[in-house]
Amino acid sequence: MSHLKVKIRNLKKSFGQGESKIEVLKGINLDIETGEILALTGKSGSGKSTMLSLLAGLDSVDSGDIVIDGNNISQMSEKELANFRATNLGIVFQQFHLISTLTAIENILLPLELLNIPHSMELSKSLLDSVGLSHRAHHLPSELSGGECQRVALARALAIRPSLLLADEPSGNLDEETGEKVMDLLFKMVRETKTTLILVTHDPDLAKRCSRVVNLEYGSLA
Amino acid sequence: MIFKFFIIKEIKKFPFFFFLLSSTLFLGTLALIGISVVSTQVQEKLKANANQLLTSDVAISARRELFPQEKIILDKIFQTTDHRSYEVIDIYSMVTRTKNGNSRLVEIRSTEDGFPFYGAIKTAEGAFTRGHLFISSDLADLWDMKPGEELKIGDVVMKISGVVVEDSSMGLRGFSLAPRLYFPLDKLKETGLIRPGATGSFVHHYKLQTFSLEKIKNLKSILSKSLTDTAIKISLPEDSSEQTGRAISAITNFMSLSGLVGLILALVGVFYLYQSHLVSRLKDLCLVNLFGLTKVKILLGILIQFSFIFSLVMILEILVLVPIYKLLSPKISNYLGLLLSSEINFSQILIEIPLLYVLSLTILSPLLLGLLRTSMGAQLKSQKISLGKFKAYDFIPFLVSLWLFSSYLGHSFKIGNIFFFSLMVIFLISTTMIKCVQWLIRKIILGKGLLLPNIEAGIALRGLVRSGHKLTLSFLSLVIGATLFSLILQLDKMIVNEFSNNSKRPSLFLFDIQEEQIDSLVELAKENGSPLAFITPMIRARLEKVNDIKFVRKKKDFDFRANEEDEDTRFRNNGMNLTYRDYLTDAEKIIDGRPFPPGGATPDRLPFISIEKRWSQRMGVKIGDKLTFDVQGVEFDGEVINIKEIKWTSFYPNFFVTIEPSLIEAAPKTFLSILPEGPKEIKRSLQYRVVEKFPNISFIDVEEMVKKMSLLFDKSRLAIELISWLSLGVGLVILYGLSHDQVYRRSYDLALMKVLGIRAGQIRLHLIFEFGAIFFSATGLGLVLGWLLAQLIAREVFKLSFSVDWLRLTGTWMLLSLLCLGTIFLASWRAVQTKPRVLLSDS
Amino acid sequence: MNYIILFLISFTLQVRAETILFLGDSLTEGYQLSKEEAYPALIEKILRKEKKEIKVINGGVSGATSASGVKRLDWYLRAKPDIMVLALGANDGLRGLKLNETEKNLSLVIMKAQERGMVVILAGMKMPTNMGETYRNEFEKIFPTLSKKYSIKLIPFLLEGVGGRTELNLPDGIHPNPKGHKKMADNVLKVLRTEL
């Protein structure tokens, strides 16, 4: 039973004002199904990061709709967005952002405790285990390698069983070998949990591993 | 070329950092340099003042004329040094006004050509010329005399040439039994007043043509060894027991050291800022190193960068200071009662600037050493960049320089040691406290979730234990700042406590009033328009026994405020003046025990006694002790029931021992009284009328002395308060800088929190928790430490007792914490508003 | 009240020997010295050694002037002294007080003492030269005048041989030291013995 996870209609976004106004997204229409792994590719400046930020509710749309799981996030207030993000979205960043003063396990705990999900500690432990870092549970991000950090970030993103997982060049800051390992883990976990994934990448090989590739060129889908 | 890179390009790239750095340096050094400019001037003036009080470089004095052989010794000693000298003789005598035959007691000061070597005597008519008779304005007032009138002094009759309105040699010595008159020394023999058997003060003054402190000290020791009679005293200007000089000197020392504290805070800030900055620049520096620039050259570049900023700051400071000082110096002169020049003495500044430079360099050296230790090649390869660690011993140059500098500012190694030691203690206590608290927090968070009980607290707690050195630095600087602030507040309160601002300041003391004269005296005074403020009995007695054991005073006891007297005789004598009263004056406060019960003594018990705090400590007497007095032949027993604290600077006659109304009232006594400040004519008419009707009553005119002392204490308080606010200001600014930087560096964390669904309000709250905890505990600790230090100083230096003003302490704590929270609020404002978008790859 | 009575009883009971009251100022009190070193105590010691039953009351109060004389005498009357050595007046002089007042006050004391049947010995005083010739002479004359008027013995000058001698005075040059007090005791005893 597949239904639309994400419905994007006529999405427009511009930056700047007056003469220096740049139209980054010129009316995107896109449907994404549950469980899809979508690669969003495009050259730098094509607007893919902008689109990701809009999907994540980190930026406001100029016009158009983004409906995730029946929720129109383009109409939501800041507060509602924050809430929605916390409950439904998981994000993995290129620079593997983790809270620097929390340990690996605590970083995973954070989104769970925010939502008062019971048995958060056990869940975190098992997630940490599934990314193979149980032995690094009490280490701070400064003590972890890049790849380890990204794995923790992945565990954190998946902790709340998000409806939608967004990944922004997740292997971009890692060397080839580590990057590959991390991406393997990412794909594995996503497939296991049947999480819908939108992966922003400029790497065509990586894009090929996804179920669908969508290309952005100058703010429009090619 | 490369150096231009370090200076111009870097500053262009990071304007905010350099701005913060410059302002921190500017503020920190401004306080210090500004204060030292003032204090150097003050010290110079004080030295000049001390000279003026003595009127010479060295004085040899005795209560009798020097014997011929002593005079020969003097001449011999001074033969080898180029000098000038004169003698000053002060005697009491009865002088007669030829106009009406009235006579009275006056103090005759006979001087020679050259008097005074330092300072000046100003007369209403012009110059104080030698060979003439001058009277003081007191005497002129009292007898309504004018120049031209004749006075008979001994066998000599002379016309008054003028009235002295200012005598710089008078100082605070206000306790003169009689008004002064100035007489030419060479005529003194003619008067017949100094034949053998005369008592007075005979002083030989010397001034060296080429002054040197060493020569003077040398002379003093030679003189002391050669003139061995205990009756002869050798005095240098510094020996004049002049409380003003010492007090002002102590204050300026204190202020200099406070300025130093401001500087230290600034240096902590500098250290912190540079560390953060270097960490963020490290990658670029490693790249530069890769391209061939050696580490040493990089270090040099950074040093030059810092030196550039430092020089700019110093130039700016001088540009700012010169006009400000010109503007303020008349006000400051007024405050201190010293005439300060409005031109800055640059020699002082030019000495201090290099010292400050060196001190700043020493605080940077651990960072630079850390940089040297960084293996730059490896840094580039790894994804994590970190600065080489600095070791504890890297700070030794800083500590040594600090110690030397503080000794320099305090003008003695003793003070430098105390200051330095206190800082180390503060440091140790602070770091210990941090470690303990962190250990405690770690125990709390171990294995637990983040909701403790809420997310904000949970993250805050972790931040407290995982932020590393930055937290320690913030904490430390806050503790130091709070300690200073607290110390100053406490000292101020103690000064207020000790030195009361009595509105009924006395201008005259009346004494030897007989009991039967009291009623008519009071009536007369009231009629005269000069009601007496206070009448108290005085009974002479000796302390014979304490708890029935014969009392012997310990030889070691020494009241530091007393004049120098033969130590031997001091310890034998136990005579004193008692009073009896059933009420407390405004200047008295019971600090231990209970007040006299109403109704006076009863036959079923010993009469109660109230004793003064310091007297009780000196004599070793406490509550419950039975004291036996020999009251002019009759033994009188009493029991100590309370100990009281007296504000001596109410200038009222105060007694160490007060007895409740009892048998003691029957003992022979005289009475003292006080005339409060008022118009001069009324004071004069009172004196006339009292002498007329009650010839046995005498007066001591204290108006001048009282005015001067009160003024002095008001000024000290003002100065101290100024410094406290200044130090607070500096502290807060630096705190803002540190907080801002810390929060800014967490921007990514904060953005991530937003992404994860934590609201801005919650984020702000967690920051307030985290930093608030630091501020709260640091200021609390600082306040307590400052209070402790104040008590120590009070006890050792001023011999005051402990006092705790809980209200003030807590109030200050709240105030400081709120101010600090204010800074974090401001500092975090922008950071909290960081758009989460920054986390994305294209940012 | 009971307390006062008890006091007086115990006090008077003590007195069986001949009681000598020294009514004076700092010279008598022994300024800066212990009671034992002041001349009244020295006199007591000397006389007791000679097996005389003597009790000495040191009624010296530093700073006292003649004006306080009568009141203080009242105080000591409870002890029923037999002899009074009156050594007041010096402070009057040093403070430049009116000398006729001094003479008047001293007279009152002498008269009161004589009324009570006491033998009075007057100690003569002199002012230092710096006080001025006129005043000095006037001051000095008071004592022989009073001595004649009330037919009382006069110690010509209490500080005879003490005044002006550095070795017999404290560094302030005014108050005698223990050695000075020994000399004062001698000066007093010379006259005192004639009345015992």
In chain A, the N- to C-terminal Cα span, in Å, equals: 28
On chain B, the residues whose CB falls within 8 A of the CB of C94 are 92
Contact C168, C183 (CB under 8 A): yes
Contact B282, B374 (CB under 8 A): yes
Q: Which long-range contacts (CB under 8 A, 24 or more apart) does C7-12 make?
A: C7/B634, C7/B663, C8/C78, C11/B634, C11/C78, C11/C79, C12/C78, C12/C79, C12/C80
On chain B, the residues whose CB falls within 8 A of the CB of A146 are 383
Contact call for A94 and B756, based on CB within 8 A: no
CB hemisphere CA count around B825 (13 angstroms): 7
Q: What is the DSSP string of B91-129?
A: EEEEEEETTT--EEEEEEEEE-TT--SSS-EEETTB---
B427 burial class (0-12, 13-18, 19+ CB within 10 angstroms)?
A: middle
Rounded CA gap, B268 and B476, in Å?
A: 9
Q: What is the pLDDT of residues C96-118, one digit of tens each?
A: 899 999 999 999 999 999 999 99
Contact call for B92 and C76, based on CB within 8 A: no
Q: Nearest CB to C79: which of B633, B670, B698?
A: B633
Contact present, B and A (at least 3 Cβ pairs less than 8 Å): yes
Asked if pLDDT for residue B560 goes beyond 70, the answer is no
Contact B260, B419 (CB under 8 A): yes
What subunits make at least 3 CB pairs under 8 angstroms with A?
Answer: B
- Helix C99-115, helix C133-149: angle, nearest 10: 20
Q: What is the DSSP string of B273-292?
A: HHHHHHHHHHHHHHHHHHTT
Q: What is the mean pLDDT of residues B465-485?
A: 79
**Cα-atom radius of gyration of chain C, to the nearest Å?**
16
Rounded CA gap, B648 and A203, in Å?
A: 88
Q: Which residue of A has its CA nearest to B759?
A: A82
Rounded CA gap, B682 and B530, in Å?
A: 6
On chain B, the residues whose CB falls within 8 A of the CB of A56 are 755
The reported pLDDT for the residue numbered A57 is 83
Least confidently predicted of B121-125, B758-762, C190-194: B758-762
Residue B840 at interface with chain A, using a CB cutoff of 8 Å = yes
Token pair, residue A23, equals 């139209």
Give B 329-388 residues with CB within 8 A of chain A: 383-384
The reported pLDDT for the residue numbered C3 is 55
On chain B, the residues whose CB falls within 8 A of the CB of C33 are 569, 572-573
Rounded CA gap, B392 and B380, in Å?
A: 27
Rounded CA gap, B284 and C115, in Å?
A: 112
The reported pLDDT for the residue numbered B382 is 63
Contact B91, B200 (CB under 8 A): yes
Q: What is the pLDDT of residues C136-148, one digit of tens each?
A: 999 999 999 999 9
Beta bridge partners of B478: none
The reported pLDDT for the residue numbered B1 is 62
Q: What is the mean pLDDT of residues B486-492?
A: 78
Token pair, residue B122, equals 């100003």
Rounded CA gap, B465 and A101, in Å?
A: 8
Complex prediction ipTM: 0.88
Q: What is the pLDDT of residues B667-710, one digit of tens each?
A: 888 899 989 888 888 888 898 889 888 888 888 887 777 777 77
Nearest residue to B168 via CA among B106, B101, B227, B244: B244
Least confidently predicted of A43-52, B581-590, C23-32: A43-52
Token pair, residue B667, equals 């003992």
Asked if pLDDT for residue B468 goes beyond 80, the answer is no
The reported pLDDT for the residue numbered B556 is 45
The reported pLDDT for the residue numbered B381 is 65
Q: Which residue of C has its CA nearest to B232?
A: C171
Contact call for B754 and A82, based on CB within 8 A: yes
What is the maximal distance between C-alpha atoms in chain C? Answer: 54
On chain B, the residues whose CB falls within 8 A of the CB of C59 are 632-633
Contact B261, B487 (CB under 8 A): no
Using 50, 70 and 90 to split pLDDT, how confident is the model at B380? Answer: low
Q: What is the mean pLDDT of residues B578-588?
A: 86
Q: Residue type for C115, please?
A: E
On chain C, the residues whose CB falls within 8 A of the CB of B104 are 96
Q: Nearest CB to B542: which of C21, C35, C132?
A: C35
Q: What's the distance, CA C28 to chain centroid? A: 6
Q: Which residue of B has its CA nearest to C159?
A: B197
Burial B589-626 (b: 16+ CB within 10 A, else e): eeeebeebeeebbeeeebbbbbbbbbbbebbebebebb
Q: What is the mean pLDDT of residues C172-178?
A: 87
The reported pLDDT for the residue numbered B635 is 84
pLDDT greater at residue B33 or residue B53: B33
Q: What is the pLDDT of residues B265-300, one digit of tens each?
A: 888 888 888 888 888 788 788 888 877 778 888 888
Using 50, 70 and 90 to split pLDDT, how confident is the model at B565? Answer: very low
Mutate to test the interface with B, among A61, A83, A114, A177 (most CBs of B within 10 A): A114
Residue C34 at interface with chain B, using a CB cutoff of 8 Å = yes
Token pair, residue A19, equals 């003469």
Token pair, residue B828, equals 């975090």
Q: How many CB atoms are located within 10 Å of the residue B450 CB?
A: 23
Contact B683, B152 (CB under 8 A): no
Torsion of CA B13, B16, B17, B18, to 10 degrees: 80
**HEC-encoded secondary structure of B522-542:** HHHHHHHCCCCCEEEEEEEEE
Contact B668, B539 (CB under 8 A): yes
Residue B450 at interface with chain A, using a CB cutoff of 8 Å = yes
On chain C, the residues whose CB falls within 8 A of the CB of B199 are 128, 130, 173-174
Using 50, 70 and 90 to split pLDDT, how confident is the model at B448? Answer: confident
Nearest residue to B592 via CA among B795, B802, B794: B802
Q: What is the pLDDT of residues B799-815, one digit of tens each?
A: 566 666 777 778 888 88
The pLDDT > 90 percentage for chain C reads 60
Q: What is the pLDDT of residues B218-234, one digit of tens each?
A: 888 888 888 888 778 88
The reported pLDDT for the residue numbered B557 is 42
Q: What average pLDDT is seen over chain B?
A: 82
Rounded CA gap, B769 and B456, in Å?
A: 7
Rounded CA gap, B21 and B310, in Å?
A: 9
Residue C131 at interface with chain B, using a CB cutoff of 8 Å = yes
Residue C13 at interface with chain B, using a CB cutoff of 8 Å = no
Domain boundaries defined on chain C: 17-195
Q: Residue type for B75, please?
A: D
Asked if pLDDT for residue B51 goes beyond 60, the answer is yes
Burial A152-176 (b: 16+ CB within 10 A, else e): bbbbbbbbbebbbbbbbbbbbbbee
CATH of A36-61+78-221, one of 3.30.70.580, 3.20.20.70, 3.40.50.10140, 3.40.50.300: 3.40.50.300
Q: Phi/psi of residue A5, each to 5°?
A: -80, -45
Contact call for A49 and B467, based on CB within 8 A: no
Using 50, 70 and 90 to split pLDDT, how confident is the model at C181? Answer: very high
Nearest residue to B577 via CA among B539, B613, B543: B539
Q: Which CATH class is domain C17-195?
A: alpha beta
Contact B159, B148 (CB under 8 A): yes
Across B396-521, where does the E strand assignment appear? 506-513
Nearest residue to B674 via CA among B498, B525, B523, B539: B525
Domain boundaries defined on chain A: 36-61+78-221
Q: Residue type for B174, please?
A: G
Asked if pLDDT for residue B649 goes beyond 70, the answer is no
Angle at B90 between CA B87 and CA B93, to 5 degrees: 140
The reported pLDDT for the residue numbered B566 is 46
Nearest residue to C30 via CA among C173, C177, C191: C177
Rounded CA gap, A112 and A118, in Å?
A: 8
A27 burial class (0-12, 13-18, 19+ CB within 10 angstroms)?
A: middle
Using 50, 70 and 90 to split pLDDT, how confident is the model at B563? Answer: very low
Using 50, 70 and 90 to split pLDDT, how confident is the model at B567? Answer: very low
- What predicted TM-score, i.e. pTM, was given to this entire model? 0.67
Contact call for B756 and A56, based on CB within 8 A: no
Give C 96-125 residues with CB within 8 A of chain B: 96-98, 101, 105
In 3-state terms chain B splits into helix, strand, coil percentages (rounded to 5) of: 55, 15, 25
Give me the active site residues of C, please: 26, 172, 175
Contact B55, B115 (CB under 8 A): yes
Asked if pLDDT for residue A171 goes beyond 90, the answer is no
Contact call for B383 and A173, based on CB within 8 A: yes
Contact call for C128 and B230, based on CB within 8 A: no
The DSSP H or E segment spanning B90 is strand B83-97
What subunits make at least 3 CB pairs under 8 angstroms with B?
Answer: A, C
